[in-house]
Amino acid sequence: MRCVLVGPAHPFRGGIAHHTTLLFRALVKHGHQAHLLSLSRQYPRLLFPGRTQEDESEAPLAVENERILSPLRPWSWWRTARRIVEIQPDLVVLAWWHPFFAPCLGTLARILARRRIPAIFLCHNVRPHEGTALDRVLSRYALGAGAGFVLHAGEEREALESLAPGKPIRVTPHPTYDVFRSNGPADQAAARRHLDLPAGRVVLFFGNIREYKGLPDLIEAMPTVRERMDCTLLVVGEFYGGRDPVIQRIRELGLEDTVRLVPRYVPNEEVGTYFEAADLVALPYRSATQSGIVQVAFAFEKPVVATRVGGIPEVVTDGQTGLLVPARDPAALASAILRFFQEDLGPGFTEAIRREADRFSWGRLVTCLEELAGELAGLREDRAVGQE
């Protein structure tokens, strides 16, 4: 299969860029002819809350790509379409995660449809985490032009069908980010020495800190945990607003010695250190679609405590690979963390994560794309026969 991927890649940072790059590698590994058309520009500075959009890692996750598409430069949309027509792919995969890209990707998909080139959307989020009334209009314009869709969470199917009814949909789990395992200390003891962590248990919260991720609920749970055992909460990630209230609440609860803040985006070569140091990874999300952080945790065979929101229950097996609790419930979070350590659930959960590893392979995502491409080809043949 000749396939074109359209989405962010190095030098841009973050999970979407990593996903696009790893999917490209997986397609090539499985014998497909892949082309990656990346973004020359991403968000305007005014719309990006982080310090930088570019990856400053010493060990960047990079592959060959053409930086050709800019969401705010319509002439680049046409140039990208012409490049795709030159390649003549069997399938085009458009990365979708935010309505900001709707005019660009929706127009591109329509141009390709007129050339009988199928463009599908690989949806990281059908709807944005923090949306507006305009988002539905923009999303309908873009997704309505897709020939088909891949979702990483079945929970999003209904929302997608309301925006783009009658189109083929495939659901497959978000693959594991196993590329970070080669970086950092080789074991937990070495990682904890490197981070100068105190003795005792370690719970990790990792990733960009935004309102929907529920960090305040986890902070509220920690006094109860601390009363029963020595436990450090390691909070690692760049704040996208709301940093001062979190720090103030930590002080009010007397958690200065319990919560360790690392308020920055972590380069690739340091990711392994934080996950190796942890016993348990916490995802106290108030809302979600799916989570790449779960798949980083599983790559390091680390169990999770997470909330029952979005597609998280589809990938975290409660009582086997992690513990699931209601959202916005600090007491339930505290109880689950205590149970995990008091009942020594770690070894059994780790073994279950190993058994499920194939379920989250990149090969499964490639197979999903192959099947969808075959279905779309069949639909085109049926339409051609019907017009004869």
b/e map of 248-266 (b: 16 or more CB within 10 Å)?
Answer: eebeeeebeebbbbeeebb
- Looking at residue 1, its pLDDT comes to 94
Summarised one tens digit per residue, pLDDT across range 201-210 is: 999 999 999 9
Domain boundaries, the chain: 2-175+361-386, 178-359
**Alpha-carbon span 219 to 143, nearest angstrom:** 38
Query: Comparing 2-175+361-386 with 178-359, is the CATH topology the same?
Result: yes
H-only helix segments in 312-386: 312-315, 330-342, 346-355, 362-386
CA 292 to each of CA 19, 55, 208, 311, 361: distance values in angstroms, whole numbers, following the listed order: 9, 17, 12, 11, 13
Within 13 Å of residue 151, how many CA atoms lie on the same side as its CB? 23
pLDDT mean across residues, the chain: 93
Whether the pLDDT of residue 386 is over 80: the answer is: no
Tell whether domain 2-175+361-386 is in CATH 3.40.50.720: no
H-only helix segments in 97-156: 102-114, 133-143
Stretch 91-120: mean pLDDT: 97
**Alpha-carbon span 80 to 219, nearest angstrom:** 46
Domain formed by 178-359, architecture = 3-Layer(aba) Sandwich (3.40)
Cβ proximity of 235 and 215 under 8 Å? yes
- Looking at residue 385, its pLDDT comes to 46
Confidence of residue 383 (pLDDT cuts 50, 70, 90): low
